[in-house]
Structure 1
Amino acid sequence: MDTTAALVLFAAITTYAIFGGADFGAGFWDLVAGGTKRGGRARNVIDHAIAPVWEANHVWLIFVWVLLWTCFPEAYASITLTLFVPLTLAALGIVLRGASFAFRKAVFRTRDRRNFGAAFAISSVLVPYCFGAVIGAIASGRVPAGGKAGAPWGSWVNPTSVLGGVLAVCVAAYLAAFFLVSDARRLSDETMVAYFRRRAIGAAAAAGLVALVGIFVLANDAKYLFDGLTSRALPLVILSAVCGLAALGLLTRRTRHGARLAAVGAVASLVAAWGVAQWDYLLPESLTVSAAAAPTGTMTAVLVATGLAAVLIVPAFVLLYVLDQKTLLPEESMPEPAHSPLEQVSHVTDEPAG
């Protein structure tokens, strides 16, 4: 039963890495799109892509934390006590990102829109970096077992955590670019299709370079994870590389099918490789899945609730994404006002009386 709970946990992490990663990656492209005039067209595609679904993506993160807390409380205590700094930064970043995304179309002044847009874009980079750093801390064995707190800074400011953070940002940008190519096609905007296609290729090259450097980092700083990736998880590492290359091949051939699915496969295989590499440890070399498991009654109740959620909630998510892909959902952003309130007052006072 503990193995089943761990597999469900990693499946939820993988799902969040895909959907949440694409969401954060869109914010990265918002950040580097350029000024208001130059980047306006790209930002319109980004807003159109994420507006209907961005709130739903974080449900997977909530599910991950609830499952970890209830099924593996010792691991939850150790992780949160040790890594409270990056986790707090990530939580604040998610709140700031959501508020900024909602408000930047509701304000009238250009300066306010720029400020909210900058907060949204910067948070979109901060959050995946912090989550990647957390994974690096866990994978490198810097989180002690026993529900004890480790080093509050050294646990996530180290070579493996920096690698994890940078790789998370690169992978999110890579995945988002493929999604945005598809969304630009749905909008029949071939200029933006070419724009995001170039960025997908660049992000893939950057992610590949970071992964290559990561081989040497892990070999020296996270030996257990490195040994797992080069042995039992090696088929998944190879599968991730093959899917990544296939995604690029399909993208450069301007095909309308398969590229996005291959990109998703590359990310899913990468996350799965991490899980397999450190199996059967939740905290490498200090806490196994079975040792961290909650009592059987708790595990049973959580898995039953998970099964009910899969029956009742997952179909709603599928419907949401299908409607979004068919452009049948309204955007959350407010329409652009024709005039600001001051301009409207001016128009009223300028009208002749009578």
Structure 2
Amino acid sequence: MNIQLLGMIVLWTFLYGYIIVASIDFGAGFFAYYGKMTKQDHVINNIIDRYLAPVWEVTNVFFVFFFVGLIGFFPSVAYYLGTALLIPGSIALVLLSIRGSFYAFSNYGSKDNKVYLFLYGATGLLIPAALCTVLTISGGGFITEKNGAVQFLAGKLFSSLYSWSVVIIAIISVLYISATFLTYYANRAKDYGALAILRRYALFWSIPTILASFLVFVGLRDNNVHFYQRIIDKYWWMFALSLVCFIVASLLILFKRNYGTAFIFVMLQYFFAFYGYGASHLPYILDPYITIYSGFTVHTAAVALVIVFILGLVLLIPSLIILMRLFLFNADYIQGKK
């Protein structure tokens, strides 16, 4: 395996970790607001609060690692994406700031304020919608280079079926991943009132998840037929495995069995789909301007970055395991006894 491919795998792993962890966080925020509006907050919000309290500060670690690594491994990405991501990137930063403010204010008694809770819930859906623009643009067709100047085709992006299909699946995936995890979490806490509600959420968002996935394929075929064809010819089996994992997870939740195993299958569902998407996109980082070879940093810097990022994973994963053992999977904590 060459250093370029290894570097890309490391970055993709950080991004996958962020998708799973952040989706649980973002979806929980929306469900907290929805519970307040439907007067079910007294049933489900205790579970949500017990999950969010110890983990919200570490959610963005994966995100920071990915973007720092992306610029470090592929410096030319900043040149091409700097203009394109100015608007969505700025929006995402503002939304992240608002979300961070909620966490701060919630410690001073504002957690039940409907305005703060609305902003908290809304940002949980708008942040992934803004951030997924990166994946859309990387597929090609939304950036041109003329006379050495990069032009962002904003009109084409906002009128593209592929662009909106990615936004839709990003939002739906946040709700689906979060609902399936919180279902497991409520069951582990033996909070059967919250379990019944969160299980309904998980089942409700399962069908839109698979429909949105097919919509992405339709949009991708119209936007980049070569990218679409690589998926069909070489990596169809990864998406087939993703579908199998989706079916297994949905059946387990439907029949009220092994919620923890169901969430593992949800993670595998997104693992196969996400890595299949990434593999079919190679060697392009930004089609057709940057590949993992043409836009890569110098070899010495690349080796150092790979070592640092692997060490980062080695430190981060055990830290998350300790956090989970102390809080998320501690019987007394999740049952509200401490």
Is TM-score (shorter-chain normalized) higher than 0.5?
Answer: yes
State how many pairs are aligned: 330
Superimposed CA distance per residue, residues 165-193 of structure 1 (whole angstroms, 9 cap, x where no aligned partner): 11011111111011101121132111211
The answer for the alignment partner of 2:126 in structure 1 is 126
Change (3 A) 1:250 1:69: same
CA distance 1:151–1:109, change in 2 (3 Å):
closer
Question: Structure 1 unaligned runs (5+)?
Answer: 336-354
Alignment-derived partner of residue 306 in structure 1: 309
Give the counterpart of 1:73 among 72, 75, 85.
75
Q: Which residue of 2 aligns with 1:262?
A: 265
Aligned-residue RMSD, C-alpha: 2.4
Shift of 1:98: 1.8
Higher CA-based Rg:
1
The residue number in structure 2 matching 1:203 is: 205
The alpha carbon displacement at 1:196 in A equals 1.0
Note the alpha carbon deviations across 1:14-35, whole angstroms, 9 max, x for none.
1111111221122232343342
Q: Which of 189, 197, 200 does residue 187 from structure 1 map onto?
A: 189
Supply the distance in 1 between the matched residues of 2:314 and 2:111 (Cα, whole angstroms): 46
SS class of match (1:29): helix
Q: CA deviation at 1:55?
A: 1.4
Query: Could you say which residue in structure 2 is the equivalent of 1:22?
Result: 24
User: 1:133-172: per-residue Cα shift (whole Å, max 9, x none)?
Assistant: 3211222442457995432633642322211111011111
Question: 2:275 maps to which residue?
Answer: 272
| Cα deviation, residue 218, structure 1 | 1.7
1:62-92: per-residue Cα shift (whole Å, max 9, x none)?
0001101111011233123212111111121
- Closer/same/farther in 2, CA of residues 143 and 317 from structure 1, 3 Å limit: farther
* Closer/same/farther in 2, CA of residues 300 and 43 from structure 1, 3 Å limit: same
Amino acid at match of 1:15: G
Cα shift at 1:247: 0.4
1:154 aligns to 2:120 (yes or no) = no
Pair 1:304–1:35, CA change in 2 (3 A) = same
Output the amino acid matched with 1:292.
Answer: G
More helix by percentage:
2
1:3 aligns to what?
5
- Tell me which of 274, 288, 293 is aligned to 1:290: 293
Tell me how far apart the structure 2 counterparts of residues 297 and 141 of structure 1 sit (CA, whole Å).
33
In the other structure, the counterpart of 2:222 is: 220
Q: Which structure 2 segments of 5+ residues have no match?
A: none
In the superposition, relative to structure 1, how do residues 236 and 20 fare at CA in structure 2: closer, same or farther (>3 Å)? same
Length-normalised TM-score, structure 2? 0.90
Structure 1 residue 106: Cα displacement: 2.0
| SS of match in other structure, 1:56 | helix
CA deviation profile, 1:249-285 (whole Å, cap 9, x unmatched): 1112211341010011111222112101211111123
CA distance in 2, matches of 1:240, 1:285: 28
